[in-house]
Structure 1
Amino acid sequence: MTDPFAEVVTLLQPVMRFSKVVTAGGRWRVNRPATGSPFYCAVLEGSSRLNVAGQALTLHAGDFVLVPAAFEIDSSSLEAPPEAEMSPVEVADGRSRVGDPDGPTDYRALIGHCAFASPDAALLVSLLPDVVYVRDEPRLTTLVGLVGNEARGARPARDVVLERLLEVLFIDALRCAGATAPTGLVRGLADPRIAPVLRRIHESPADAWTVVRMAHEAALSRSAFFERFTRVVGAAPMEYLLTWRMAMARQLLRRDGAGVASVAEQVGYGSASAFSVAFARHVGQPPARYARAVG
């Protein structure tokens, strides 16, 4: 059966930017501007506060946070200082210190930034939660440790290994979040009525989908299904279908020799003209021009 998690993460093409261990002591605060880079943090020791995307989280050892989109992030000790934020100071390769440099260490975390190589990143990230927060999952901490070790090494095939590790890390974080995610694909796949519909859409995106057919797959009335899908996924059923079809279309158009008519058929449009109108409205330019530009 098609796995929507794997499809979305594979299309995103996560690549490593950097990973480092941050230690802290005393009272401290660090502010990270919205740089556009996805961010993750695995707390190895101690506790901290994290404010991101309107959420205030208290993190403890074993917790993992993944922020797929670009948001300003404010991180601090539990008793944050009132003064302006501090900047981490690099003390060794891949290691930084924040707070009292001479005091004892009471906090340690592995943090990292990555990037999405896909030109459709913004479109695909819209299918994910703003923040993925997982508590006490040692497997994730182990995976982040492997990413950090590989990033700081100079072993053969380093970039290939990092790409695979990041895909596993993203997928594992998303599926661990499950029903705790507020909205998005993650929450939808944890819902027993919505999950079968999402899997069928990803399995057969070219089918003649309607809200009535989706409701039948979910064994719900049309109105109950529409309300539940929109609340859980954060987008109306046909809006989600369109988003996924356009992501697939853009990927297909980037392949050599993929004609507009062929792509239209593969993503569920009966004619190239109908597909061209939908694509231009959603992407901002006709598919033929898009294919030439990315080619």
Structure 2
Amino acid sequence: MIDPLAEVVTLLQPRASYSKIVSGTGAWRVRRSEAGLPFYCVILEGACRLEVDGREPMTLEQDDFVLIPAAYGFSTSSCNPLAPADMRSAPVVLPNSEFRLGIEQDPPDVRFLVGQCVFDSPDAALLLSLLPQLVHVRGERRLSTLVQLLIDESRAVRPARDIVLARLLDVVLIEAFRSTTGTAASTGLLRGLADERLAIAIRHMHEHPTRSWTVAQLAKEAALSRSAFFERFSRAVGVAPMEYLLTWRMAMAKRLLLGNEATIAEIAERVGYGSASAFSVAFTRHVGLPPTRYAREPEQPEIV
């Protein structure tokens, strides 16, 4: 069975950028602007406060994992004592390569791993729009262990290091996303997959992208009326069913074009178009470049 979540994460092409261990003592606050880069944090001990622009502040505790797939403005700070809103702390590098915030000499109140990754997919922004804007997983030591393995590998010089890092990062992201389950998840693919009826339709779209799907056919697979399916899908996933299918087909087409894996006619067939000309029209409208030109002059991956 095709796993839509695994397919999306694989197509994102995640790549580790940097990671570090940070500790804090007393009152401290750091403000970051990540220009849309993916940010993650794991609390190793103690607690701290996370404030993401546009969201309510949250307290992170030991073994908590937070992933912001496209971070822009946010701050982390001490929660006991509570740091003033206008406070800005400069980290100091300790002899053990740990970054210290607040009082340098005292034992730490909190220690956490922070890291960043980059998505190399040219369709990263579109794919990320299908995922939650923020993932918060509480008390999953399995996830903390995976992140620790990722950081250990990034600091070592071993054979096949880049391949191991890529695979570990895939696993970390999938584990984080699938730990955010239920219809309480924010709008996106995870919420759609948490709905048993919608999950059937989503899996069918991924398993059979070449089929000439209609909303009525997908609604039948989900055992819902056409109108109920359309409304339920759009509300849960955040895009209409046919828009989701188009996004997925075009992401697949881009990967095939960049890999020089097939002719335009073969790619058209693989992504559900009856002819090369029909595919070329749809691709040009969606991407802004004809497929042949895109294969020669691909757009630069978006930094999201």
TM-score, length of structure 1 as denominator length: 0.95
Q: 1:124 to 1:92 in 2, by over 3 A?
A: farther
Please say if 1:174 is aligned against 2:177: yes
| Cα deviation 1:58-84 (Å, max 9, x = unaligned) | 211111111111421211122122433
Distance 2:14 2:90 in 1: 27
Distance 2:83 2:278 in 1: 56
Superposition CA RMSD, Å: 1.6
Listed as ranges, the matches of 1:218-229 within 5 Å are 218-229=222-233
Q: Give the counterpart letter for 1:264 in structure 2.
A: A
SS in 1 for 2:244: helix
Q: 1:145 to 1:231 in 2, by over 3 A?
A: same
| Correspondent of 2:282 among 275, 278, 285 | 278
Please say if 1:189 is aligned against 2:193: yes
2:152 corresponding residue in structure 1: 149
Percent identity, aligned pairs only, is 58
Q: Give the counterpart letter for 2:179 in structure 1.
A: C
SS in 1 for 2:162: helix
Q: Give the counterpart letter for 1:55 in structure 2.
A: R
1:213 Cα offset (Å) = 0.9
Q: Give the counterpart letter for 1:77 in structure 2.
A: S
Distance 1:49 1:281 in 2: 44
1:94 Cα offset (Å) = 4.7
Distance 1:145 1:92 in 2: 20
Distance 1:26 1:192 in 2: 47
1:236 Cα offset (Å) = 0.9
1:40 Cα offset (Å) = 0.5
Of 87-96 and 109-118, deviating more is 87-96
Unaligned runs of 5+ in 2: 300-304
2:112 corresponding residue in structure 1: 109
Q: Give the counterpart letter for 1:147 in structure 2.
A: L
Q: 1:92 to 1:178 in 2, by over 3 A?
A: farther
2:135 corresponding residue in structure 1: 132
Please say if 1:39 is aligned against 2:54: no
Q: 1:265 to 1:47 in 2, by over 3 A?
A: same
2:93 corresponding residue in structure 1: 90
1:267 corresponding residue in structure 2: 271
2:302 corresponding residue in structure 1: none
1:266 Cα offset (Å) = 1.1
TM-score, length of structure 2 as denominator length: 0.92
1:258 Cα offset (Å) = 2.2
Q: Give the counterpart letter for 2:60 in structure 1.
A: L
Q: Quick check: 2:268–2:279 contact (8 Å CA) kept in 1?
A: yes
Q: Quick check: 1:35–1:71 contact (8 Å CA) kept in 2?
A: yes
1:39 Cα offset (Å) = 0.7
SS in 1 for 2:43: strand
> How many residue pairs were aligned?
295
